[in-house]
Structure 1
Amino acid sequence: MKAGRSSWPTGLLVLGTLFHAIYVLSIFDIYFKSPVVHNIPTVEVLHASYPPPAKRLVIFIADGCRADKFFEANDSFAVFAHSRLTEANLSSLIPSRYTDEPTRAPFLRHVIKDWGSWGVSHTGVPTESRPGHVAMFAGMYEDVSAVTRGWHENPVDFDSIFNQSTHSWLYGSPDIVPMFAKNVEHAHEKHYSSSEEDFAKDGSALDTWVYFKVKSLIDEARNNRTLYDRLHSNQVLFFFHFLGIDTNGHAHRPHSREYIANVALVDRLVEGIHNMLEDFFKDDKTAYIFSADHGMSHQGSHGDGAPSNTRTPLVVWGAGIQPPTKATVDDKFQFDVPSHSHDQVFAQLHAHKIQEAAALKDWHLSSFVRKDVLQADIAPLAAALLGLPYPRNSVGVLPFSYLQQGLYRARAVAFNAQALFLHAKMKQTEKQEATWPIFFRPFPRLDEVPSLLATVERSFGAKAYGEIEALSQQIIRDALAGLRHFQRYDWLLLMSIIALGYVGWMLVLYVAVAQWPFSVTSLFVHRGQVDRPAILTIVVGFVAMYLYNHSATPMYYLYLVFPLVFWRYLIRESHLLVSQSHLGFGVIILVAISVELIVFGYSTRSVFSALCLVVGIYPNLVAIYNTGTARLWLGGCILLAIFPVVPVDYGDDLTLVLAGGAIWLLLGFIIWWQCYPMIHGISLLFILASFGSLVGTMQALSQPGTNPAFWIYLNWVLACGSFASLAWTPSQSYQYRLIQIMLAVSPFFFLLCISYEMFFYAIFCLTLLLWIRLEGSSTSKPAHQSGVNAEDVRLALWYLIFFKLSFFATGNIASMSSFEISSTFRFVTVFDPFVMGALLVFKILLPMVIVTCAFHVLLTLRGHQPNRLFLLVVLLSDILALHFFFLVKDEGSWKEIGNSISIFGIVNIKMVFIPLLLLVAKMGFRQVPPPVFHLD
């Protein structure tokens, strides 16, 4: 039977790509708009009658330091960790009174027990370095538009504690330090070269670099009067950024000796710098904050909202800090979180029950009151200690239990409330000026705040400090609620527009599949003329949007134009929606159940195992397939069903990688032997060479002092060379070309594997080949009537399941951080987030490319307008996208928030990738002659 070649749906696929690329951004306008408001007045705590407790503040940030790895009391690696200090020649250089204590951070544990206050800082999402530092120093969660601004530059213009200081000294990473010193004349920064951020080297050297720079600064000040006077000024800030923990976490994971030893090293460096500064200033006017920007997952990555990433240590001591408070109970943690952040902090703790149980057992700190904070709360704490104005746009709530009780603390709390109120009022004014009066919706509780502020001011006369702090938290509650109201002001409007856009797009796709071939110009052209009512509808819609919101961004109008165009077309062609349907009610119910199971599978990977089994069993229950092929198909699906139940944090296992690669090499050799000369053997040589290159790379990376550059270059040559080999290995049939593609891309995938992924790849490829053979053995041939039938839906649904399985079999939707960053070290060791991210994306996409190529071959061999079924896949995927759109959260635990954003984003990004993958698939087969017969 001849396979008909249908028109390529270029117009619809381009429109769909544009539609999803724009609509994926909608959640940021709905839930996560830029928090920056301009022209907010500053509120300064400093006053002659209540001077700040500290003249200077030292902030230590241990990049990538997990709370549990820092606070754990019993350290099995203590001896090893402290021996690393000796190797670095720091034991004699930094004398310590705590070397005999069997803990990895003896100095800072001493601080917790004898000098200061402590707790867990709960970070926001994404758990990346830049957003974490912005939260700690600016008190705001970074403007979402910053994702398009690059890694090294200031993401947006925002105020920070460094801007408000008299002088600041910042030492550390080139990715972080320059960001806060840029355009700040009184900020003095030094950073090492980005080439030093090499995962193949000892990351702790980056931390000792900071220590020696601080030592040089103090030594210079003893002989430089100008520098000496600057250091002794009021409102001086020091920021010391330690990157070694993060580097070793990525390279060796947080359970490794290298990571633990780096925690011990940072503790000793903090002690050394503390002693150095105390000896230099000798005035007891120095305050210290130790924390981290984010944690580190078991896989050695970060980015998502997993507790291992969002829980970081916080230790504060020195001038003005409340000394340790003994707990009244010892069988659980006693918390002191009197600020408005209480509810959010305890929401995180409630979601971290397992981590809290382990903390109570392992930290041995339940004797001391714990004061947890949200990460953005650190900024107002730093400002209050120095009497600085709170950073503009800060939403941080002062954790005043860290400060010593009295007039100054009460004033600091009251000014925190006043600053947040001014922020909310400015936000209200901004929105009111952009909205016609009849449409404006005020926030009444803000009108009550001035009277509360007056009550607070009267209470100072009575020295009712406790009442002042309580009233201030009420003001903060109303101010933050007002900010949230105006931040989500356009929520209902945008939700309605986006929902109508998705539903309209899905109905247009249904019409396109049913009325194939379909031209996208029919959306704008009717009976040979431009559809004037459609143009009028868009104009009226734009005018209405402008009247509702004068300051609406261009994105608002882009969101609006899609539903206007789609629904104008659907109303005009409403008869097409029902005239071509060949689907029974039972099929629709089965599709709905299948889609809901896929939705459930995004949070529970094992659901895809059940779907695999259902797909494998089906051909054995109907009598239209070859029995032997159906049984082999069931076996392949059973093997595939194993992978979604394997933990994603399995860890590195080179033996598994080599074993999986050996199986794939053996299968490739058998296929080549059976199919020669239809299959070229050059890909097998590339796979074989990759074995030696991978082993050499891993040996070089595991041996300190060994340069892996040769092996890294060889990996690039092998991976890219195998891809390039496709250009000179043309095949005579679609199925042989598919096998050649599977073999050619496998060296790249193999070199990015860290455990069982190669087993999955081998079984996945074999199962896809069996799928083509299975459909070729079917006695039920494609129907030639127009419309959508049950077979079309089944094929599209099976492709969608395998497409999702290609991701979930080895990863987790929480974020790409579930895919191990250590796999990228085979191609790059110097820190480069874009190259590493691109390699991870490429690793994720390769199985998706394979399943898309297989589906393309299947539909081409099946004949009868194969391209339209890709539109049916897009339609089913859009049902998922709309479902997840309504599941996006901006409340709850950081893990829930981060996962909901990731799911919606990844579903839409995959929708953008599907047409691109289809284009890649067609390019891969462009030199293959048209098939004449179905595969049998």
Structure 2
Amino acid sequence: MDIPVFILAGLLVHCVFLVSIFDIYFSSPLVHGMTPQQTSLPPPAKRLVLFVADGLRADSLYELDSNGTARASVLENNGSWGISHTRVPTESRPGHVALIAGFYEDVSAVAKGWKENPVEFDSVFNESKYTWSWGSPDILPMFAKGATGDHVYTFCYAAESEDFGAEDAAKLDMWVFDHVKSFFNSSRNNQTLFSALNEEKVVLFLHLLGIDTNGHAHRPNSREYQENIKQVDEGVKEIASLIDNFYGNDGKTAFILTSDHGMTDWGSHGAGHPSETLTPLIVWGAGVNYPQKVTTQFFEDNFLKEWKLENLKRLDVNQADIAPLMASLIGVPFPLNSVGTLPLEYLNTSALFKAESMFTNAVQILEQFKVKMSQKKETTLSILFTPFNELQQYIQSLKKSTVLFYGFASAGMIITFFLLIQTCPWTYYIYCLLPVPVWYAVVFSFFYRSALTVGLLVFAGWPVITQLWIQAKVLYSLIWTLLCVLLAIFPLMPVVGREPNIPLVIAAGLLTILISFFSLASLCKSENKYRDNEDLKVYFYQIFSVALSTYVVGSTHNSLKIKQGLPVMNQIISWMTLALLLLSPTFLFERLFSILLSLMSTYLLLSTGYEALFPLALFGLMFVWINMEQEALQHYGLSLKPKLAVFNFTCTMDITQFRQLHLDDVRRSFFFVFFIVTAFFGTGNIASINSFDPASVYCFLTVFSPFMMGGLLLLKVAIPFVLVSCAFEAVQVTTQLSSKRYITCCISALHFFFLVKDYGSWLDIGTSISHYVLVMSLTIFMMVMNGLAQLLTTRRLGLPRRNKHHSM
């Protein structure tokens, strides 16, 4: 079979397997065709006002301020309160879906990145007579998009207003409050609008994003975050008073104040920490119980004592329970896809109304089961359709680790047995058995990053174990050991929950410049007759670029700290640096170091802490790896070894016909896979991507732009991959082995296929998907990286060369 056809066939197979999990595991659980259910009794409220303070933590609202007074002024005298328990991912979209539609994120939405639902869903807004909403363009349109008819209206500020570098993000909330005031004032001169506002089953939704934005930019313990909460509290009081006055204090308005998610102390959200999953809930007005005095109440947490709220009854709910509560208060049908249960203790109605509402809630949930069962019957043979009586899920993830361990241990024993019966030299045991713990560490690192530390510490002893230090220079062996130990520290560092450390980023930039000058001095002293000294100018431009990036990082974060925003010149320089790629001549070490400098400028601009040092440590190890692998050539009697000092990537030729595969080649492939995995998990994991710090992209933009920010984050993730791939390209050509001879094992992909989850938290589901996608994409990704490495190592991207004029 022709090689290109074989490669294309392999790519096609991997793509099919990659897509298969979405067809096998992830089909939408939402069903349609249910009959709407609502209580026939008159509701206690004619209208509902929903305030959602995005990113507001429960403790931040309920705890006493510095003056010893409650931040939530409506709490003690007006209504009932409690904690709304959210589910992961603690993000704005799934939080609002749970609040307003009553169900937790549709698992099939993973195919669209959780940005929009692949199927339509019902919501309280859709069931209302009219809904008016004000706030973010990222949240409001998704509930208007799927609404039937023309009765859900949205008023959004410009997306550019969501600026993390703004002097005060509370202006977003002030915009909402001001526009609501203008809306009610203008309605007095608009009879159509005035009549609509006086209808029953009306919903007013105020989405307040300022607290979330200030939390990301300044952290929840900052003055800005706390002041924003006070401003929201004052705004809520003012809007509530305005609405009551507008309707003549008719007592028919219900109010709800809550949040979509909380926020960690370091200003992120997305995972399952209590600071992210515990959100406030305060309900008051028509049909709502007044504050209930109690003498004692018990909760496992100690929040009541901290908040001085021991005597006010705390009523906790699940986030999805708020949707049926809103529906019950204004008498609209329960959202068809809701899984929430009505929190009766919040209602101040007759026992009959409560009983009818409970019954309606139960029938509405039962309707979903009936439709689902009917659909299942239609697509299943009758003899095979039997109810499953024991609805239990048996999950034992520590057992998974045990099976994994014994599986690799068994593989090691089998290899040892075959080596024994062949009476192989003791070095063969090392060559064959070393990949076993390495591959085990690779798989295990998907669950525990610290496994990479173990693997790197094993690598540190490689020159001694294999006696390679005798053939190679002792200095290289020592540097190899030192860099392995140094790199082993990074997987032990936290990936979320750390404060930015800009001085460390600046130190990384200065260290890069210092190393560059030493390397430049070494190149100037070298006696490579093929080198053109004019090409050294490229290095000066690259060093200048690193220095400029270092300055921009410090300058930008200092400017944001004093609330002067992102300097325009810094932003221009950052984007120009991103687009600038200069590469030195194609001599091996010069080209590799040139690639590092080109990528390091961008990496510094995207760093906020210790990870800025990671590319330097990784590149140093790759540099030594190339030298060590060339020295290992004599293991199989190859006397012809290229002189690395003058080795040129563009002069290589395919000499694989003179070279057969050896055991060391298998070990090299394992080394490559391990370093590729280290490149990803060394400074991050799925959780770090899920809740990345927006400060990482502040040199490029501060206005919220998920696609742009996500693209920059992926670029940062890809840079270590490129460094490893380019180093591996050098290893291949210097050890006289073509990359076509390497075959990637897909056994681990099969392992992760069976670990994919379509149940549990979104973090668990997303992690299982990411693991499978990462492993399944590894083959495709390595082919892409191999092509990119060949492009970067063999092509010339430099400054325009001056023509030399010679006299006759």
Q: Deviations over 1:242-267 (max 9, x none)?
A: 01112222222333322222222222
Aligned to 2:346: 402
- The one of 687, 690, 695 equivalent to 2:549 is 690
Do the aligned partners of 2:431 and 2:664 also contact (CA within 8 Å) in 1?
no
* Alpha-carbon offset, residue 766 of structure 1: 0.9
CA distance in structure 1 between the partners assigned to 2:3 and 2:198 by the alignment: 70
* Alpha-carbon offset, residue 59 of structure 1: 0.9
- The one of 306, 312, 315 equivalent to 2:282 is 315
Farther-moved stretch of structure 1 (603-612 vs 165-174): 603-612
CA distance in structure 1 between the partners assigned to 2:309 and 2:749 by the alignment: 45
Q: How does 1:651-800 map to 2 (within 5 A)?
A: 651-676=499-524, 677=533, 680-681=538-539, 682-706=541-565, 708-721=567-580, 723=581, 725-726=582-583, 729-731=584-586, 733-778=587-632, 779-781=634-636, 790-800=663-673
Do the aligned partners of 1:128 and 1:303 also contact (CA within 8 Å) in 2?
yes
1:617 maps onto 2:580 in alignment:
no
CA distance in structure 2 between the partners assigned to 1:597 and 1:707 by the alignment: 42
Do the aligned partners of 2:505 and 2:550 also contact (CA within 8 Å) in 1?
no
In structure 2, the CA distance between the partners of 1:42 and 1:851, relative to structure 1 (3 Å rule), is same
Aligned to 2:799: none
Q: Deviations over 1:153-191 (max 9, x none)?
A: 775322111111111111111111122223541222211
In structure 2, the CA distance between the partners of 1:172 and 1:818, relative to structure 1 (3 Å rule), is closer
CA distance in structure 1 between the partners assigned to 2:756 and 2:50 by the alignment: 35
Identity score, percent = 40
CA distance in structure 2 between the partners assigned to 1:782 and 1:180 by the alignment: 70
* Alpha-carbon offset, residue 320 of structure 1: 2.0
Aligned to 1:522: none
Aligned to 1:196: 161
CA distance in structure 1 between the partners assigned to 2:345 and 2:96 by the alignment: 22
Q: How does 1:228-239 map to 2 (within 5 A)?
A: 228-239=194-205
Q: Deviations over 1:765-794 (max 9, x none)?
A: 111101111112224248999997642332
Do the aligned partners of 1:17 and 1:915 also contact (CA within 8 Å) in 2?
no
CA distance in structure 1 between the partners assigned to 2:636 and 2:212 by the alignment: 57
Aligned to 1:472: none
- The one of 52, 59, 66 equivalent to 1:61 is 52
Partner amino acid, structure 1, of 2:718? L
In structure 2, the CA distance between the partners of 1:904 and 1:132, relative to structure 1 (3 Å rule), is farther
- The one of 840, 844, 860 equivalent to 2:733 is 860
* Alpha-carbon offset, residue 276 of structure 1: 1.9
CA distance in structure 1 between the partners assigned to 2:440 and 2:85 by the alignment: 33
Q: How does 1:330-341 map to 2 (within 5 A)?
A: 332-333=298-299
- The one of 616, 637, 657 equivalent to 2:484 is 637
Q: How does 1:398-547 map to 2 (within 5 A)?
A: 398-404=342-348, 406-442=351-387
Q: Secondary structure at the match of 1:119?
A: strand
Q: Secondary structure at the match of 2:710?
A: helix
CA distance in structure 2 between the partners assigned to 1:833 and 1:22 by the alignment: 28
Gaps of 5+ in 2: 395-406, 408-423, 525-532, 639-655, 797-808
1:279 maps onto 2:224 in alignment:
no
- How well do the aligned residues superpose, as a CA RMSD in angstroms? 3.4
* Alpha-carbon offset, residue 407 of structure 1: 1.4
Partner amino acid, structure 1, of 2:182? S
Do the aligned partners of 1:62 and 1:292 also contact (CA within 8 Å) in 2?
yes
In structure 2, the CA distance between the partners of 1:147 and 1:106, relative to structure 1 (3 Å rule), is same
* Alpha-carbon offset, residue 123 of structure 1: 2.6
Do the aligned partners of 1:644 and 1:808 also contact (CA within 8 Å) in 2?
yes
Q: Secondary structure at the match of 1:398?
A: coil
Partner amino acid, structure 1, of 2:47? R
Do the aligned partners of 1:139 and 1:378 also contact (CA within 8 Å) in 2?
yes
Q: Deviations over 1:348-375 (max 9, x none)?
A: xxxxxxxx46x46644444444333332
In structure 2, the CA distance between the partners of 1:144 and 1:836, relative to structure 1 (3 Å rule), is same
Q: Deviations over 1:739-790 (max 9, x none)?
A: 2111111100011111112222211111110111111222424899999764
Q: Secondary structure at the match of 1:669?
A: helix
In structure 2, the CA distance between the partners of 1:151 and 1:650, relative to structure 1 (3 Å rule), is closer
* Alpha-carbon offset, residue 64 of structure 1: 1.9
Do the aligned partners of 2:78 and 2:285 also contact (CA within 8 Å) in 1?
yes
Do the aligned partners of 2:50 and 2:257 also contact (CA within 8 Å) in 1?
yes
Alignment: residue pair count: 731
* Alpha-carbon offset, residue 29 of structure 1: 4.2
CA distance in structure 2 between the partners assigned to 1:776 and 1:787 by the alignment: 16
* Alpha-carbon offset, residue 608 of structure 1: 1.7
Partner amino acid, structure 1, of 2:239? I
Farther-moved stretch of structure 1 (199-208 vs 895-904): 895-904
Q: Secondary structure at the match of 1:59?
A: strand
CA distance in structure 1 between the partners assigned to 2:361 and 2:6 by the alignment: 53
In structure 2, the CA distance between the partners of 1:323 and 1:887, relative to structure 1 (3 Å rule), is farther
CA distance in structure 2 between the partners assigned to 1:604 and 1:822 by the alignment: 26
Q: Deviations over 1:387-427 (max 9, x none)?
A: 11111222223233332461111211111111111111111
Farther-moved stretch of structure 1 (691-700 vs 13-22): 13-22
In structure 2, the CA distance between the partners of 1:611 and 1:248, relative to structure 1 (3 Å rule), is same
* Alpha-carbon offset, residue 70 of structure 1: 2.9
* Alpha-carbon offset, residue 25 of structure 1: 4.6
Q: Secondary structure at the match of 1:598?
A: helix
Aligned to 2:185: 219
In structure 2, the CA distance between the partners of 1:166 and 1:128, relative to structure 1 (3 Å rule), is same
In structure 2, the CA distance between the partners of 1:587 and 1:150, relative to structure 1 (3 Å rule), is closer
Q: How does 1:152-301 map to 2 (within 5 A)?
A: 156-182=119-145, 184-201=149-166, 202-281=168-247, 282-301=249-268
- The one of 303, 308, 332 equivalent to 1:388 is 332
CA distance in structure 2 between the partners assigned to 1:818 and 1:843 by the alignment: 15
Do the aligned partners of 1:299 and 1:818 also contact (CA within 8 Å) in 2?
no
In structure 2, the CA distance between the partners of 1:663 and 1:102, relative to structure 1 (3 Å rule), is farther
CA distance in structure 2 between the partners assigned to 1:225 and 1:623 by the alignment: 91
Do the aligned partners of 1:235 and 1:387 also contact (CA within 8 Å) in 2?
yes
Do the aligned partners of 2:106 and 2:117 also contact (CA within 8 Å) in 1?
no
CA distance in structure 1 between the partners assigned to 2:181 and 2:190 by the alignment: 14
In structure 2, the CA distance between the partners of 1:424 and 1:640, relative to structure 1 (3 Å rule), is same
* Alpha-carbon offset, residue 918 of structure 1: 1.9
Do the aligned partners of 2:50 and 2:204 also contact (CA within 8 Å) in 1?
yes
- The one of 32, 38, 43 equivalent to 2:32 is 38
Farther-moved stretch of structure 1 (377-386 vs 125-134): 125-134
In structure 2, the CA distance between the partners of 1:9 and 1:410, relative to structure 1 (3 Å rule), is farther
In structure 2, the CA distance between the partners of 1:417 and 1:809, relative to structure 1 (3 Å rule), is same
Aligned to 1:467: none
In structure 2, the CA distance between the partners of 1:805 and 1:253, relative to structure 1 (3 Å rule), is farther
CA distance in structure 1 between the partners assigned to 2:775 and 2:329 by the alignment: 45
CA distance in structure 1 between the partners assigned to 2:82 and 2:782 by the alignment: 46
Aligned to 1:469: none
Do the aligned partners of 2:53 and 2:211 also contact (CA within 8 Å) in 1?
yes
- The one of 770, 785, 804 equivalent to 2:677 is 804
Aligned to 1:921: 789
- The one of 299, 303, 323 equivalent to 1:379 is 323
